[in-house]
């Protein structure tokens, strides 16, 4: 339903049907002699390898996620066929042509990553609406979805601001499984509300250090929720009308009941997947986020706003998509006419530029010689803590999540020791081991391949235990710069140690006999 405002091929009666099949039927209505094969499938499956891509004269991308874009980019490079890449965001859009060895590929320049937030901020000290929304989405997964242990919403008694933590006799921090607790209590909405917005909040209030410079949260009573609304709206769209905390509580109760029934129907086996277009899931996140925002005196948001933020949505505009689709076709015609020298990157801008143009054509950029995808020397550095990062985390978050590999294999360079295999049974027993236990050290080089993408890369491991809070790893694209940074950092460290040594000598009066001073010349 939410796709209808941005498309010109689909209508209301098509909701729930396959996009590619409906698109084919729509096109045939005005171009009856077109020869179109509609394939409803995942382009990243093994069925669509390099041979499949070589069967085309070119590929036109109209994708909506980075992983698929990266994959098609690599497949077109491997098949050596032109790719017309495109994208839109609100009023903005762009189209470019990618050709192996002649232009930048999709991955030549780094893409901005979605912002992440430290766990302690999400669990203990939210200060922005987005913190509450992220917390509510984590809670959904804790109760009904495929929960990630790192996304626990319980108060974090290891918050670095506390200086100490409460642990059990074995020295481990005790945590209760939110899922199991909820199931034991039959997903009772009142009990869940009381735990999250009363008991947990009161527990956080016992951590005095957290509130020495912050406004403390206020616990809520399920039976006596505020009915006044902090914000008013003159809008008539239901989703844009603010809720009172009492209304949030009612919406939360109803959504928990619906989600519980759906989860029970699967025998608690099929995890629910959060979807912004699932009313119960969306109501759950919107109500939870707003109740938590009220508790922490954070501005509340309408369901419409929460949906946009939770789904990371930039409202799509049909006109933008139509203009960009036209630009894709214009570039495709140039390729078919063997006029590659006339191909360009076209930007659709919000306002006219100094030359009074909204569509701005630019020359295609040359390949980045340091690109870890299309250059001959495919290398990249990864800074991480080898004593904390597990093999499973490295595979899922580095190789697949960041480097966009689909079925990676990895071995320690020079040793031939396979640590990750696309045949998961071969190495799955090592998934929970940290990298250090697998023989990976500072400076280790890993040779990684993805046969599906006909792609390989060498990864240099740099052990680093001082990454920012909440950051598990960092990619370093230009290894020469990293080496320069490391050398500079080492020099600074040595100089600092020398200065410290001199200061210590001066302090103790153990220098030259000349007044007890040691004359230090840097």
Which residues are marked as active site?
120
**CA 387 to CA 316: how far, in whole Å?**
44
**CA 360 to CA 194: how far, in whole Å?**
56
User: Under a CB-based contact definition with an 8 Å cutoff, are residues 127 and 298 in contact?
Assistant: yes
**CA 504 to CA 1: how far, in whole Å?**
71
Reading the block at residue 385, the tokens are 């803590």
DSSP state of 381: E
How big is the chain by its Cα radius of gyration, in Å?
A: 28
Task: List the 345-348 sheet strands across, edge first.
Answer: 59-60, 83-89, 92-98, 345-348, 359-362
For 240, what's the count of Cα atoms within 13 Å in the CB-facing half-sphere?
5
Beta bridge partners of 84: 60, 97
User: Under a CB-based contact definition with an 8 Å cutoff, are residues 117 and 470 in contact?
Assistant: yes
Cα 268 to the center of its chain, rounded Å: 27
Strands in 271-398 per DSSP E: 345-348, 359-362, 379-384
b/e 83-112 (16+ beta carbons within 10 angstroms → b): bbbbbbeebebbbbbbbbeebbbbbbeeee
User: Under a CB-based contact definition with an 8 Å cutoff, are residues 307 and 239 in contact?
Assistant: yes
**CA 199 to CA 441: how far, in whole Å?**
44
Reading the block at residue 338, the tokens are 């063997």
**CA 187 to CA 173: how far, in whole Å?**
25
DSSP state of 440: -
DSSP state of 116: -
């Amino acid at each position: 339903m939410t796709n209808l405002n941005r498309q010109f091929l689909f209508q209301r009666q098509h909701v729930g049907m396959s996009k590619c099949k409906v698109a084919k039927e729509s096109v045939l209505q005005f171009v009856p002699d077109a020869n179109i094969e509609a394939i409803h499938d995942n382009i990243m499956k093994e069925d669509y390898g390099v041979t499949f891509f070589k069967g085309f004269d070119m590929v036109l991308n109209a994708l909506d996620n980075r992983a698929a874009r990266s994959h098609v980019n690599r497949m077109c490079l491997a098949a050596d066929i032109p790719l017309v890449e495109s994208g839109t965001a609100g009023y903005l859009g762009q189209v470019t042509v990618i050709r192996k060895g002649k232009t930048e590929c999709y991955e030549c320049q780094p893409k901005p990553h979605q912002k992440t937030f430290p766990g302690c901020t999400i669990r203990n000290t939210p200060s922005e609406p987005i913190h509450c929304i992220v917390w509510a989405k984590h809670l959904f997964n804790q109760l009904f979805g495929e929960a990630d242990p790192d996304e626990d919403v319980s108060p974090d008694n290891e918050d670095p601001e506390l200086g100490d933590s409460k642990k059990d006799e074995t020295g481990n921090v005790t945590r209760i499984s939110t899922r199991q607790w909820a199931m034991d209590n039959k997903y009772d909405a009142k009990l869940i509300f009381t735990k999250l917005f009363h008991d947990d909040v009161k527990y956080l209030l016992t951590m005095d250090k957290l509130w020495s410079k912050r406004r403390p949260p206020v616990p809520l009573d399920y039976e006596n929720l505020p009915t006044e609304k902090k914000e008013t709206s003159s809008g008539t769209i239901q989703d844009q009308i603010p809720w009172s905390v009492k209304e949030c509580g009612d919406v939360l109760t109803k959504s928990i009941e619906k989600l519980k029934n759906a989860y029970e129907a699967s025998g608690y086996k099929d995890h629910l997947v959060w979807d912004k277009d699932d009313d119960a899931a969306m109501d759950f996140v919107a109500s939870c986020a707003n109740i938590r925002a009220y508790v922490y005196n954070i501005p509340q948001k309408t369901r419409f706003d929460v949906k946009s933020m939770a789904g990371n949505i930039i409202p799509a505009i049909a006109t933008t998509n139509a203009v960009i689709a036209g630009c894709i076709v214009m570039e495709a015609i140039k390729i078919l006419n063997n006029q590659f020298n006339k191909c360009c990157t076209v930007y659709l801008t919000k306002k006219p530029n100094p030359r009074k143009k909204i569509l701005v054509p630019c020359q295609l950029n040359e390949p980045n010689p340091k690109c870890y995808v299309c250059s001959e020397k495919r290398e990249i550095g990864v800074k991480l803590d080898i004593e904390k990062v597990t093999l499973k985390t490295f595979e899922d978050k580095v190789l697949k999540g960041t480097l966009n590999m689909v079925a990676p294999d990895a071995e320690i360079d020079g040793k031939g020791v396979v640590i990750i295999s696309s045949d998961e049974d071969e190495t799955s027993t090592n998934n929970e081991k940290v990298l250090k236990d697998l023989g990976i050290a500072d400076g280790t080089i890993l040779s990684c391949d993805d046969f599906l993408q006909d792609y390989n890369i060498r990864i240099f491991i740099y052990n680093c235990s001082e990454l920012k809070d909440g950051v598990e790893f960092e990619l370093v694209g230009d290894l020469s710069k990293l080496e320069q940074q490391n050398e500079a950092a080492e020099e600074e460290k040595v100089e600092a140690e020398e200065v410290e040594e001199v200061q210590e000598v001066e302090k103790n009066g153990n220098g030259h006999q000349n007044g007890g001073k040691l004359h230090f010349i840097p």
